[in-house]
Structure 1
Amino acid sequence: MRYSRLKRRNRRRYTSMILLGLLLFLAVYIGSASAAGNFISRIVTSFLGSFTSTNQGEDDASVQAPNTQLTVPNKTDKTPNEGSSQKVTEQLDIAPFNLYAIQLGAFTNKENAEVAAKELQAKGGAGYILNDKYFRLLAMGYASEADAQKVKQQLEKEGIESQIYSISAPGVNMEITASADKVNSVKSAFSLWIDKTKALEGIVKNLDTSAISVEDARKDIEAMVGAFNSTLEQLKAYSATQESNHILAGLQELYQNSIESLNGIFAENVVDRVATSSKIKYTYIDMVYKYKQYMDKITSE
């Protein structure tokens, strides 16, 4: 009987030690995420401006777009002046778009990820949570893998582990059949969105290195919203004269979401440089992720 009691006590002691060990591990893990959050501000706000990418777009060029043929039909226009427009067929080759994000943690618990994200945002990082089996905490995204690798290496020197998480939007070979003006407008809509969205990375670098002010950043983004609004109005006009088309409808939704996201950066009249930088970084990643979802959809249908 005494032996049994001793055995049960030993089991309790062993169980207590395991629980204590798990609690200590959790504390260290969360603490390391906090340390990363404190340091990432220096990495994302000062190191980013210490180099200029010379291989922007090289990674995309090496990837072959899938041979997916998509047609944007041109139904009979309801506008009298456009009723006799002759249809043309042209090819639009959209290259893959990869965003290489700095990942500071992968959480199984959403609440823990949100706590770490808020702390990171307070330090100037994106604090973007991407749910992909894990709740991935992303600090910033780069169109160039080389730029992301440089930041990752700098973090390693400071003893902070990070990973590069690629958000990959597929390319597509798209055949467009419509009136010439509509073909050109659709082509322009795709290239404009990609070019303007990539420009957010430059705005962040200039803002973080004090090359521009918060007000300058605001003006750049307002100009971007203006260009997006103009294109969105064209897309809406095309949708009004055609039957429902998933390519045009998706492109219109992409523009609408992008405009709302960009306007949200200054929705609270943000004047603080760090807070503004954090919001732009977050918006940059979010816009690219939504673009990936759009491209995944049109290449799978």
Structure 2
Amino acid sequence: MPRAKDAVTAIPDGFIQINDHPAELWSQVAFDRVEGLHDEERNRDPDAHDMYIYNDYFGYACCDLLKREMLAIGKLVASKKEKHTLATFHRIEALTLYMCHSGAADTFHTIDDGEFADVLYTAFGSLCLTYILNLESAAKPQKLSPTHPLDILNLENVIRTAAKAIMQFADMGFENEPNEVSDAMLRVLERNDMNGTPKEKLILGKSADSDDEDDDADKENEGGEGEDDDERVKSHRPKKKARRSGADDVDVRDAAKTWKASKAMKALREAEAPFEFYGRPWDITKWTKEEMDREKARFAGTLSDDNAVGFI
């Protein structure tokens, strides 16, 4: 007896489906982490505290936030005990979702320090590619799948979204081309009989500001389907198989050398982090009331910059 339609397409426990699109499956764990990052981001935003500090303050504050998060994930990816765990995947998943929609993703590449922005950009792509390659190695001699070696029902969506997210930063003058790591991630999915096609856009489905239903579901109906997948996976993935990644296994090996997490984390640790504002934390909520009042007064023109600095 065939399963009822609502049973097949039901959202698995612990997951959220964005825009009612079956492929846009994200874990609640990742959502909670992203919400925490957004809270930290708001705490660093002068506009949220009715003050102006200097043009790049928010950008540099977000760079500091990204650096802290990426270095923490880098430790997990490098750990023999943690690199293959679901907890590490959730951190990669959360970072991917955060890089799709956040003030940090919008501003980190606009700061005056282009070299520091380049290091952050490379770190993002390197963490994602290194993780999926580590997971593929752990799956051998079998192929990597959403149920092996870990039960990650949204594996395809997260990796395909990461591949799309890194492409946001094309033509920005960064040292390494984003299509190298993007195509490599898609090829890893493809060679493991998963959907290695590029996403049409970062988040599929009907957008909040659109009156028209998107036909993303039809466009996305071109992925792979593994023989061992259970119904939970099949109901949240495209059904056809097509190769569109534009990369082969040699390209993946080359990308793995250029976009290597250990190398990227070393560069990130050694990068000169932006100096905190007069020794204060980037998190404005950690300033004293007197510090906040003086900064607002300086913005209002009732306190000179010299007096503001002298207060520190």
TM-score calculated relative to the size of structure 1: 0.29
Normalising to structure 2: TM-score of the pair?
Answer: 0.28
Name the one with the larger strand percent. Answer: 1
